[in-house]
Amino acid sequence: MSDPAMFTEKYGPWAVVVGGSEGIGSAFANELASRGINPVLVARTQSTLDEAAEGIRSANPGVEVRTIAVDLSVPEGAEQIIAATDGLEIGTLVYNVGSEPKYGDFIDHDWDMLASRLQRNFVSKARLVHHFAGLMAPRGRGALVLMGSVAGFGGSPGFALYASSKAFGHTLGEGLWVELAKHGIDVLTPVVGQTNTPTMVKAYGRVDGAAEPADIAREALDRVTNGPIWIEDKVRDLVAGRIGSEPAERVKTIGERAARMASGNPVGVS
Query: Which residues are within 8 A (CB) of 220 and not within 5 positions of it... i.e. 6 or more apart?
Result: 28, 145, 188, 190, 230
Q: Which residues of 92-102 are buried (b: 16+ CB within 10 A; e: fewer)?
A: bbbbbbbbbee
Number of other residues whose CB lies within 10 A of the CB of residue 16: 26
Q: How far apart are CA 134 and CA 129, in angstroms?
A: 8
- Per the annotation, the verdict on 162 as an active-site residue is yes
Contact of 196 with 206, CB cutoff 8 Å: yes
Within 10 A of 79 (CB to CB), how many other CB atoms are there? 14
d(CA 76, CA 92): 22
Distance CA 73, CA 28 (A): 22
What are the residues facing 187 on neighbouring strands? 144
Which one from 11, 95, 103, 162 is the annotated catalytic residue? 162
Q: Are 56 and 20 in contact (CB under 8 A)?
A: no
Residue 259, H or E segment: helix 247-262
- Catalytic residue list: 162
